[in-house]
Amino acid sequence: MNPYKIISALCISLFLMIPQFAAAADYVFLKNGIILEGRVTDETDINLTILLKDGKKQVVSRRNMLRTLYNDNFKKKQFIQLKNGDIIEGHIVGEDRDSYTVRKDLDSARESVYARSQVE
């Protein structure tokens, strides 16, 4: 096979993959309600460094953080039906094997936790 064709194919493949990496973002939820969007570039036990969308770096103390998410699924509003018939409308910003953490408003730090056993 022609080596120029191989190099061209590799360059095109690499070019097509770059937008996927550029579009990916990390989200750091702060205790004051702010959600930072960017790319986490460094983590220690004490701090986390995030490169924000505007190109600035911000160092965040872990004491001021609630969580870090590596996808944007939380942005989509969801409806959760509880076993008692209530329907909760909000953004699922966290989940573990026992519960869901929901924000009715993404701009607010106010969160509610629902046990999975409560959810239909």
Q: How much of the chain, in percent, has pLDDT values that exceed 90?
A: 77
CB 88 within 8 A of CB 80: yes
Per-residue pLDDT band at 7 (split at 50, 70, 90): low
- Token pair, residue 24, equals 């990916």
pLDDT in tens, 41-85: 999 999 999 999 999 999 999 999 999 999 999 999 999 999 999
Q: Calculate the alpha carbon distances from 67 to 25, 71, 81, 93 in Å.
A: 14, 12, 25, 9
Spell out the residues 6+ positions from residue 66 whose beta carbon is closer than 8 angstroms to its own: 29, 30, 31, 109, 111
